[in-house]
Structure 1
Amino acid sequence: MNLRELVSRTRSFRRFYENHPLTPETLEDLVDTARLTASAANLQPLRYMISVDAQVNAQIFPHLAWAAYLKDWDGPEEGERPTGYIVILGDQRYTKTSAWDLGIAAQTILLGATELGLGGCMIGSIKKDTLAMTLEAPEDFEILMVIALGRPKEKIVLERLGEDGDIKYWRDEKGVHHVPKRDLDSILLRRFGDR
């Protein structure tokens, strides 16, 4: 699979086969790959906590908000919840650079998961203070994001953005998740040089 295919398949999956366990080694490998990516000023401010433990996962789950555009959906039901989590924390001494590193690391983790036949979802809507207490996170580190991981249990289809410009994703009657995307001409503001 080339990079474009890998990126196209790397979606925000929110339903998983909960009976498909992940191993700590799988999550460690994903973090280890993210560790190799670029870092602003090479400060490397990110730290990670991983869980594939069902009891810990159950403690993480209530601190997360899922799919804001799906107003009648509170997140995956039991049996469809993630079997692994990677919690990304930032060293508070380097808050000016953490955001750049966070995006690079999180996308790298999801690309790696996709390559393994897994799926995930970057979650930024988090009850950070209570999750930090639950996980006994070090005081000098702020929870920046949680990546939910597992074997995907849903189909996601990319759609061309409609003429109405509505960017909200939706689910159809069969549970297929549709994600509208702007086309290249609408995001490419100028072209310089010959075409």
Structure 2
Amino acid sequence: MNVFEAIGERKSIRKYKDIEVEEEKLEKILESARIAPSAANRQEWKFLVVKNKETRDKLIDAAHGQKFVGQAPITIVACSTESERVMPCGQYAYTVDLSIAVSFMILEATEIGLGTCWLGAYDEGKVKETLGIPSDIRVPAMFTLGYADENPAPRPRKALDDIVCYERYE
């Protein structure tokens, strides 16, 4: 599978098999984050790998009751170790950097046959409390990881003409 195929194959998985993810697969996913680009190559991030069932069950509450968070064998929590830096374009570096790293991890997971779901609905404070994350550390992203026990239909996408313009914004 090439990158473009992985992009097309990726789906949000909310039902997982009760199968442990092999360490070599997890390591490859984590390595894809390690080598991801970041603003000024600062790599101001940490990735928490949550496997413990009791801890994953506590994350269900932090994730607004999404039960699949406890069902997936792994949840990866992306943390920014520096959250004040603003790039010259006006964007906070951590949100961009961690979005790139998580995207790389999710595409690598897809390539090696694993399912993921990028979580956007969670209470950052509860996640921090559950995982012992210091108050000055931000958690801009987290995702579930495991073997899919579903194959959802592809979601509709807008036409390229609806999302692309050339030379000037139209």
Same structural fold, with TM-score higher than 0.5 when normalized by the shorter chain: yes
Residue 58 of structure 2 aligns with an amino acid whose one-letter code is Q
Residue of 96, 100, 103 corresponding to 1:100: 96
Residue 16 of structure 1 aligns with an amino acid whose one-letter code is Y
**1:154–1:65 Cα change, 3 Å:** farther
- Point out the structure with max Rg over C-alpha: 1
Q: Percent identity?
A: 25
Structure 2's unaligned 5+ residue stretches are: 87-91
* Alignment partners' CA distance in 2, 1:87 and 1:28: 15
SS of structure 2 residue aligned to 1:94: coil
SS of structure 1 residue aligned to 2:29: helix
Residue of 181, 187, 192 corresponding to 2:157: 181
Bigger strand fraction: 1
**1:114–1:147 Cα change, 3 Å:** same
* Alignment partners' CA distance in 2, 1:149 and 1:189: 35
**1:76–1:11 Cα change, 3 Å:** same
How many pairs are equivalent?
A: 162
* Alignment partners' CA distance in 2, 1:62 and 1:24: 27
What's the TM-score once normalised by structure 1's chain length?
Answer: 0.74
Residue 151 of structure 2 aligns with an amino acid whose one-letter code is K
SS of structure 1 residue aligned to 2:121: coil
Q: Is the 2:3–2:107 Cα contact (8 Å) retained in structure 1? A: no
* Alignment partners' CA distance in 1, 2:150 and 2:23: 24
* Alignment partners' CA distance in 1, 2:2 and 2:14: 24
Bigger helix fraction: 2
Q: After TM superposition, what 4+ stretches of structure 1 lie above 6 angstroms from structure 2? A: none
Residue of 48, 72, 76 corresponding to 1:82: 72
Shift in Å, 1:124: 2.0
Structure 1's unaligned 5+ residue stretches are: 67-73, 159-178
Shift in Å, 1:94: 3.4
Name the residue aligned to 1:171.
none
**CA offsets 1:130-179 (integer angstroms, 9 cap, x no match):** 22111111333111111111111222222xxxxxxxxxxxxxxxxxxxx1
**1:23–1:122 Cα change, 3 Å:** same
Name the residue aligned to 1:50.
49
Shift in Å, 1:82: 0.9
SS of structure 2 residue aligned to 1:149: strand
**CA offsets 1:97-124 (integer angstroms, 9 cap, x no match):** 0011121111111111111210101112
Shift in Å, 1:22: 2.1
* Alignment partners' CA distance in 1, 2:138 and 2:160: 36
**1:75–1:37 Cα change, 3 Å:** same
Matched, 1:119 2:115: yes
Matches within 5 A, 1:3-152: 3-17=3-17, 19-23=18-22, 25-65=24-64, 75-76=67-68, 81-91=71-81, 92-94=83-85, 96-152=92-148
Residue 136 of structure 1 aligns with an amino acid whose one-letter code is G
